[in-house]
Amino acid sequence: MTIEQKKEQLSNRYLGILAANRGFVIEKPELDLGVDYQLKRTYTYTMANGKTRFQYDSRYIDVQLKATTENQVILQPGLVRYDLEAKNYNDLVERQTNGVAPLILILFVLPDLPADWVDIDHTELRLRRNAYWYQPPAGSAQTGNQNTIRIDIPIANRLDMDCCVNLHQQFYP
């Protein structure tokens, strides 16, 4: 497995763990059209016979998931700066006006050395560093850049244990 494939697999699991811990699921769309996952909330309801049943909420968030290392980002006070592929940025902008569901980028930042990515001992499994979510500011225009565009992700957009709940509430108040 290549280093890039390992980073991708770790970022997939990271998002899956955060989602499952708060009653969300991530589903991979059948076609790759710039969306890696759909983040869906689950809920329960009581049937007429008194039994509880689980169901998917019809509102979801589409996610582009990227994984990188610390040496590929610029950490500034309050910001993570990252050079995103122009096509991915344009997808994010396009979906703000022409989409059923919101589309966000989740950037997973690992340490530079692969040996530092994962650690385990008798009490815990640690996956090091952080992930951040990003959506271009409202009214942003697509870029004409051929390769990349530098984006500024607020540190406040760091994914935490309640990120899925908070994102769902933000996009579906």
pLDDT tens-digit readout, 17-52: 999 999 999 999 999 899 999 999 999 999 999 999
Separation between Cα atoms, residue 67 and residue 106, nearest integer Å: 8
pLDDT digits (tens, 9 = 90+) for 67-107: 999 999 999 999 999 999 999 999 999 999 888 899 999 99
Where is 24: in which H helix or E strand?
Answer: strand 24-27
Largest CA distance in the chain: 59
Q: Which residues contact 77 (CB under 8 A, 6 or more apart)?
A: none
Which pLDDT does position 69 carry in this prediction? Answer: 98
Asked if residues 165 and 98 have their Cβ atoms less than 8 Å apart, the reply is no
Q: How many residues are there in the chain?
A: 173
Q: Residue 26 in contact with residue 18, Cβ under 8 Å?
A: no
Q: Which domain holds residue 102?
A: 3-171
Distance CA 151, CA 104 (A): 13
What is the domain count for the chain?
1
CATH number at 129 reads: 3.40.1350.10
